[in-house]
Amino acid sequence: MKITPYGLGALLLAPLALLAPGPASAPAHADPAPVAGHHRQWHGAAEISTFLSSFYGAHGPSPRDRDQRVSQQLKEKQAHIPYADVLLCAQNEPEHIEIGPVTVAQAAGIGWATVTTHWQDDLTDTFTAYVRLDSHPIVLDDVICAG
């Protein structure tokens, strides 16, 4: 029996104020330009989409990806919630995963996409996966469950 992630969202919420784009944010789906004096190139929507698709695959991240492609902040979040998988907002492995379009907010330094998990009996759930535009190598920075 699979337990869908309903009800886990409230336990996994992080301060949204840190992630909310300001009024000067780039348009949705725009690839950000490097900031003057910034030595590294920022990740664009296409790169973030490729990363998230690779990271989540069809059923969820591999043990290697969980270890090497996740921010320290997200690892600590998982350590505080051992009964649920914070990367999937669930307690089990979904039957299928889809990554939605990526939005980039250059002013906030964050890109994100809605991730849809598919479960038995045509049930679905969604959550939002966040990536810092300046992370090198690219890593999953945070996950906010829909609730």
Q: What is the pLDDT of residues 2-48, one digit of tens each?
A: 444 444 443 333 433 334 444 344 444 444 454 555 445 899 999 99
> Smallest Cα–Cα separation from 52: which of 144, 126, 139?
139
> Smallest Cα–Cα separation from 131: which of 32, 22, 10, 4?
32
Token pair recorded at residue 130: 């966040």
Strands (E), the chain: 96-105, 110-118, 124-132, 142-145
Architecture per CATH, 41-145: Roll (3.10)
H helices present in the chain, as ranges = 9-12, 45-56, 63-68, 72-80
pTM of the predicted model, to two decimals?
0.74
* Span 127-147, pLDDT tens digits: 999 999 999 999 999 999 986
